[in-house]
Structure 1
Amino acid sequence: MYKVFVNDTPIIITQSSKIESIFPVFAFNDITFDEILRRLNEKLIKGIILYSIDLEKDWKTFKQNLRVISAAGGLVLNDKKEALFIYRNKVWDLPKGWVEKDESLENAAIREVEEECGIFNLTITKKLITTYHIYHQNGYILKETYWYLMHSNYNAPLIPQLEEGITEVSFKKTDEIEDILKNTYANIKIVYATYKAQ
């Protein structure tokens, strides 16, 4: 299954015939990409499910409508198992950014977390999940973000990357994260839920 967000509205592409959802279901080949985006952008539906017979083939077809960019980021835990969050544009988020040319996903994830948070001593524990979202900037772009679970014992003051619009960086306890998840993006909720499920 692939779950792609347009803002926080999901496009779910699945091979599962056991689909139970409040969203309308279409056969993948029965609706156009432009029609999907029109319905989502006009808020005619709160999400859509595309039923696929060949998931990987249809996923490649879906991506042909978009310019794909890769990003990488991290869910960073400290020694107290607190999670590192950033505050940008009045929304809580996790640090991430574009992968540079010839850069590995792991190196990009560490670099972006370091740059956005002013943190060091990062180690990757494991890969968590890949999330997808579509936005419009001189055409439609699909951002594929590769997320890693990380650890750091860094205990000096954290420095938000102000030029990226980040105004706060801090480690949050589990009870604080419950409130944060009320003011974050759907993909960030998925990343955190993936971590908690392991």
Structure 2
Amino acid sequence: MYEVFVNESPLILTNKRPEKSNGHLFSLDGDSIMKAINSLAKGKLEKAYMYHPDEEKMLDIFMHKIPLVVAGGGFVTNKKGKVLFIFRNGKWDLPKGKVDKGESIEEAALREVEEETGVNGLKIDKFLRTTYHIFKRNGEFWLKQTHWFAMSTKFEGKLVAEKAEGIKRVKWKGPKKAKKALENSYANIRILFEDWPTS
């Protein structure tokens, strides 16, 4: 099963037919995919399901029907166990960005965190998970696949928001402030905090 977020509404790719889909079940073909995405984007549906019997193939099929952007991002903690947040487009987010040509996803994640926040001395501790969301650019829907990594740093310098990327603020947040920030964040970001030990 995969969750692809359209705004904050989930489009669930599944190989099991949901018992209660309330007419929100779509087949995995081009027309149905766009119909489901449009319905979620316009708020006509709160949740939609896409069914395909083969779990291994369904994500590939979905990704071939919609243009894909691959990104890398960091769930960065410092020596005090605080998490690095950025504030952009009126919401708290985590630093991430598109993988450039010839770059590995890990290299992109490290580069983007440093560029967006000014934090250096970053070390990847482990891969966390991959998240998916749909966004619109020039009137066309795109799928963003973000590979998230747990990172750590001993950095204690000044945080610098990358203004060119629309980032207004960069902050380290402990459990209490992180919880508050997540109330004004994205579903994909909240998912990353599900296993955060100090939350």
- When normalised by structure 1's length, the TM-score is 0.91
* Separation (CA, whole Å) in 1 of partners of 2:66 and 2:123: 33
Match of 1:161 in 2: 162
Higher mean alpha-carbon deviation, 140-149 vs 26-35, is at: 26-35
* Separation (CA, whole Å) in 1 of partners of 2:147 and 2:76: 14
* Separation (CA, whole Å) in 1 of partners of 2:94 and 2:163: 15
Q: SS of the residue aligned with 1:134?
A: strand
Which residue identity is paired with 1:142?
L
Q: Within 5 Å, give how 1:101-120 maps onto structure 2.
A: 101-120=101-120
Unaligned runs of 5+ in 1: none
Match of 2:137 in 1: 137
Q: SS of the residue aligned with 1:119?
A: coil
RMSD: 2.1
Q: Is the 8 A contact 1:129 1:146 kept in 2?
A: yes
Which residue identity is paired with 1:158?
L
Moved over 6 A (4+): 20-23
Unaligned runs of 5+ in 2: none
1:82–1:136 distance in 2 versus 1, CA, 3 Å? same
Deviation at residue 58 of structure 1 after TM alignment = 2.2
Match of 2:73 in 1: 73
Deviation at residue 41 of structure 1 after TM alignment = 2.5
Which residue identity is paired with 2:36?
I
* Separation (CA, whole Å) in 2 of partners of 1:78 and 1:20: 45
Q: SS of the residue aligned with 1:127?
A: strand
Q: Is the 8 A contact 2:66 2:141 kept in 1?
A: yes
1:121–1:20 distance in 2 versus 1, CA, 3 Å? farther
Identity %: 39
* Correspondence 1:174 to 2:175: yes
Match of 1:62 in 2: 62
Deviation at residue 20 of structure 1 after TM alignment = 7.1
Deviation per residue, 1:79-135 (Å, 9 max, x gap) = 111100011121100000010001011110000000000011100000001111111
- When normalised by structure 2's length, the TM-score is 0.90
* Separation (CA, whole Å) in 2 of partners of 1:80 and 1:109: 22
Deviation at residue 53 of structure 1 after TM alignment = 0.9
